[in-house]
Amino acid sequence: MTDKASRNAFAFGIPATIAFIIPLGLVVVSLWALWSVTTNDLATEQAGGRPLLSHLIDDIYLRRALTFTLTQATLSAILSTLLAIPLARALATRSFPGRSAILSFFGAPFILPVIVAILGLLSIWGNKGPVQAIMSAFGFENFSIYGLWGILIAHVFFNLPLATRILLQGWLALPAEQWRLASQLGMNSASIARYIEWPMLKERLPGILALVFLLCTTSFTVILALGGGPRATTIELAIYQAIRFDFDMERAALLAFLQIILCAGLALVSRVASTDFDTGQSLGGAVLRTDRNGRLAQWSDGAIIMVAVAFLGMPLLSAFIRGIWGLGLHGIDWGQILPAALRSTGVSLASCLVMLLISLPLAQLSIHIEGKARRFVELPGYAIMVAPPIALGAGLFILLHQHVSVDDLALPLTALLNGLQAVPFALILLTPAMAQIKRNYGMQLRHLGIKRRDAIRIIHWPLMRKPLGLSLGIAAALSIGDLGVIALFGSPSAPTLPLYLYQQLGAYRMDQAYGTGVLLTSIAFAFFVLFDKGLGGRDQT
Amino acid sequence: MKALTLSLLATSLTLSTTLATLSGAVAEEKPTLTVYTYDSFNSEWGPGPAIKSGFEKNCGCTLEFVAPGDATETFNRLRLEGKNSKADILVGLDSNLVADADKSGLFTEADINTDGLELPIDWPSKTYVPFDWGYFAFVYDSDKLKNVPQSFDELINAPDDLKILIQDPRSSTPGLGLLLWIKNVYGDQAEEIWKKLQPRIVTVTKGWSEAYGMFLEGQADMVLSYTTSPAYHIAAENKTNYKAAAFAEGHYMQLEMAAITKASKHRELANQFMAYLIGPEAQKVIPTTNWMYPVALPEADWPASFADLVKPAKARLFDSEKVPDLRKEALNEWLEALSK
């Protein structure tokens, strides 16, 4: 028995070791490739009598990119979080028909292809959109969606729902006793805010700020579409420009290296900033608040929710309508769309496979390891978060492009990196499910001596299909809509669907771009639903 | 639910097999000549389609255009692919990138006769063969803009609400053209000029198509394009309100080249294509599709819409060997001025 068990453990150990090594190995290898190019460059610079540091500081553009990266990420994080506070409070306080629909809708930006969301934002906030018309009616002529403002709007669009959902959890996790007590004591809003809400916010805000900040630091598609001029370039985009515009591999390597160091630092800070809090079991009901029964409070909460829904919903609605109209006007160019959609599908399925091959063994490994060593198992997940795909892609590309044709490299590299990107999300979903199986059935499995195949069929599959389906759905949707590595290296004659859309945008064929956007979104959501509901099954819990 | 799962797996299998067959099915009997070019060259209204059908009539081959983006991006894509590239020819290399192209060592001499070319300057290269040329200029709508700047000076001192659209010099050849134009006119003061221009710039687009599209939608008063752009509106749309502003300082020139890659496996076909590109058939197509001056077409045969175009007082162009250094310097000034 012990013999067999240890043999099993060993057999499990091989995929786990591989899954552990691959992400770390890729990061290390690409870092090494980047470093070797950069040191070459710096060595020649130093030969010219200029030390490394002054080289970096002297580079106006690099300095500017670094400042802009941090500025926009800070502003995006603060805006998203601050706006999320009243919104989450309003959603926690009020119960009304459609509330749960709104909450599910808040999950949509997560799987929506970024480039499609940008199309939507352009149609609302762009130079010919309604917001612009209102602004110019009031004499504000200078507003432009291109540049910092547009980037902030887009980042708030993506991160406000996220921040709101996390904060809402916080409100709902407050014990009902506290509310009852507050109402008995007749506490007014100010003291409720001070004694009940603030302690909860104080605990959660740093984590949310750090998370949004990190997401915005590595944001690529938004900056690619709305920024890019010399005034609005982040490091992530500067890597892209160094390769695409200047064909300067040394510069790309230097920037990628800088980006990885920056993200590693940020991840460290955010790990320190966010404390693990016990979310508890929320009943999902509205919070009982006698202090906010007044008409004014009701109206202001209603207004806040309506404005938020409009802010998030209008761009989507508009992109959808313009897309349908565009499709009606120009039809679907099957000769272009179909191969592009198939390429995207292939990349997406391959990235799902990568995600599974890495995250399943890692999740398995993490439940077998006890105590402090578990942190160690989290390492590959962190490595992926820390090395942004563009930087990682640039490193792998520099390593491989002398030997393999770029055309052959683009799609597999995209699939690999998309798959890796999905690993951290998958681990969050898969690890607790695995741990639960071990906790609830581990003993029985061992005592009854159930064969592995039967155990998988009877126990693992029914319990794992839900989180598996969800993580596959997320991986597939993210990969279908991805415009990162593929924008950098994708073959222009063989684009994926998001790249094709971006080409149409670049050629200013807006109607066609909106049409492609509708198709892209439909495919992404179809995949999500197919995996989440098809594989995951309906309401197993 | 099981059925759904099964169908999901079946679909994914079918899709991936289709994908594999699609990529496998490209082998065909006729040779394919692959030409990399910039996006607007191969758009439905550009010269691409006419040149493709015209050339395919006699070559017994398939001509495939690949357009990775604007001209600079296209050239960089080729550099990225290096010796593995499937490109036989690059069409649309800017005269300002010739030194870089030489350094890349990717191109080889074309075996064609270039004696008949008529250019405003001498161009002896056999590797980089010009197929059209033009002058950069700001284009405006004369129905909307009344006080048209007649020089850079006037543009800088124009009323505050005069807005312009330009392209990024790192990705787009008109953008690079303006960068060198200003450098050529102002030399060391170029950075000052950019700082003064900066408040007027609505946005810096990656490519020409995007900027021109935005201009036509009315998002700015002037757009950086060519003196020949109004000819398009005259010929294709019968609109005479679009005009190019003639600047007193003179206009920077652009020659667009084609070059054969060393990696080309269809050298004979490639030479044939180069000859076709500067031959009468393609040259007749180019003015009314690419909206540039032809290199080998008697002026009498130029389209009527080219008759009233602005004739620059002075043609400006840097020596192509000097461009890389100047470009680097000017680019830093540009970045410095515009990132403020």
Would you call B1 and A537 a contact, using CB atoms and an 8 Å cutoff?
yes
- 3-state SS, residue B258: strand
Hey, what's the torsion of the CAs at A89, A90, A91, A92, to 10 degrees?
50
Q: B206 to chain A: nearest residue by CA?
A: A506
From B2's Cα to the closest Cα of chain A, the distance in A is 8
Lowest pLDDT segment from A233-237, A502-506, B8-12: B8-12
Q: How confident is the model at residue A56 (pLDDT cuts 50, 70, 90)?
A: low
Q: What is the mean pLDDT of chain B?
A: 87
In this model, does residue B264 exceed pLDDT 90? Answer: yes
B133 within 8 A of B284, measured Cβ to Cβ: no
**Degrees, nearest 5: CA angle A14-A428-A415:** 65
Among B75, B203, B223, B334, pick the best mutation site for testing chain A contact (most A Cβ within 10 A): B203
DSSP states of B61-123: SEEEEE--SSHHHHHHHHHHHGGG---SEEEEEEGGGHHHHHHHT-EE---S--TT---SS--
Second-level CATH architecture of B134-253+310-338: 3-Layer(aba) Sandwich (3.40)
Instruction: Find where tokens 């590693």 sit.
Output: A264
Q: B335 to chain A: nearest residue by CA?
A: A230
pLDDT of residue A52: 53
Hey, what's the torsion of the CAs at B8, B11, B13, B15, to 10 degrees?
-140
Would you call A493 and B66 a contact, using CB atoms and an 8 Å cutoff?
yes
* Of A179 and B285, the one with more pLDDT: B285
Please compute, for residue B41, the number of CA atoms within 13 A of its CA located in the half-sphere on the CB side. 28
pLDDT in tens, B63-76: 999 888 778 888 98
Q: A81 and chain B: CB distance < 8 Å anywhere?
A: no
- 3-state SS, residue A320: helix
d(CA A305, CA B134): 56
Q: Are strands B201-205 and B315-316 parallel, antiparallel or unpaired?
A: unpaired
Would you call B16 and A346 a contact, using CB atoms and an 8 Å cutoff?
yes
Q: What is the mean pLDDT of chain A?
A: 83
Same fold, A71-226+296-331 and A332-387+395-541: yes
A326 within 8 A of A332, measured Cβ to Cβ: no
d(CA A385, CA B324): 38
pLDDT of residue A68: 93
Q: A476 to chain B: nearest residue by CA?
A: B12
B70 within 8 A of B172, measured Cβ to Cβ: yes
Q: How confident is the model at residue A44 (pLDDT cuts 50, 70, 90)?
A: low
Q: How confident is the model at residue B110 (pLDDT cuts 50, 70, 90)?
A: very high
d(CA A95, CA B1): 33
Contacts of A132 in chain B (CB under 8 A): none
Q: B256 and chain A: CB distance < 8 Å anywhere?
A: no
Would you call A60 and B72 a contact, using CB atoms and an 8 Å cutoff?
no
d(CA A283, CA A397): 49
Pick the CATH number of A332-387+395-541 from 3.30.1330.200, 1.20.1260.10, 1.10.3720.10, 1.10.10.10: 1.10.3720.10
Closest partner CB to A245 (pick from B40, B171, B334) = B171
Q: A342 and chain B: CB distance < 8 Å anywhere?
A: yes
Q: B40 to chain A: nearest residue by CA?
A: A507
Q: A424 and chain B: CB distance < 8 Å anywhere?
A: no
Listed in order, the ranges of chain B carrying CATH 3.40.190.10 are: 30-133+254-306, 134-253+310-338
Q: How confident is the model at residue A280 (pLDDT cuts 50, 70, 90)?
A: very low
B129 within 8 A of B167, measured Cβ to Cβ: no
Closest partner CB to A405 (pick from B7, B81, B332) = B81
CA A76 from chain centre, in angstroms, equals 15
From B118's Cα to the closest Cα of chain A, the distance in A is 32
pLDDT of residue A525: 93
ipTM, two decimals, is 0.75
CB within 8 Å of chain A, chain B residues 134-153: none
* Of A288 and B301, the one with more pLDDT: B301
pLDDT of residue A47: 46
Lowest pLDDT segment from A134-138, A267-271, B178-182: A267-271
Across the range A170-184, mean pLDDT stands at: 84
Sketch the domain layout of chain A as residue ranges: 71-226+296-331, 332-387+395-541
Contacts of B172 in chain A (CB under 8 A): none
Across the range A482-502, mean pLDDT stands at: 87
In this model, does residue A216 exceed pLDDT 70? Answer: yes
pLDDT of residue A346: 96
Whether CATH 3.40.190.10 fits B30-133+254-306: yes
Across the range A120-148, mean pLDDT stands at: 82
Across the range A203-222, mean pLDDT stands at: 89
Q: How confident is the model at residue A536 (pLDDT cuts 50, 70, 90)?
A: confident
Long-range contacts of A399-403 (CB under 8 A, 24+ apart): A399/A29, A399/A30, A399/A33, A401/B80, A401/B82, A402/B82
In this model, does residue B29 exceed pLDDT 80? Answer: no
**What's the CATH fold of domain A71-226+296-331?**
MetI-like fold (1.10.3720)
Phi, psi of B118, deg, nearest 5: -115, 110
Across the range A523-536, mean pLDDT stands at: 90
Query: Which of A514, A526, A474, A523 lies closest to A496 in space, CA to CA?
Result: A523
Lowest pLDDT segment from A116-125, A309-318, B7-16: B7-16
Q: A149 and chain B: CB distance < 8 Å anywhere?
A: no
Would you call A492 and B66 a contact, using CB atoms and an 8 Å cutoff?
yes
pLDDT of residue B179: 95
CB within 8 Å of chain B, chain A residues 193-252: 228-231, 241, 243-247
B135 within 8 A of B227, measured Cβ to Cβ: yes
From B73's Cα to the closest Cα of chain A, the distance in A is 6
pLDDT of residue A131: 87
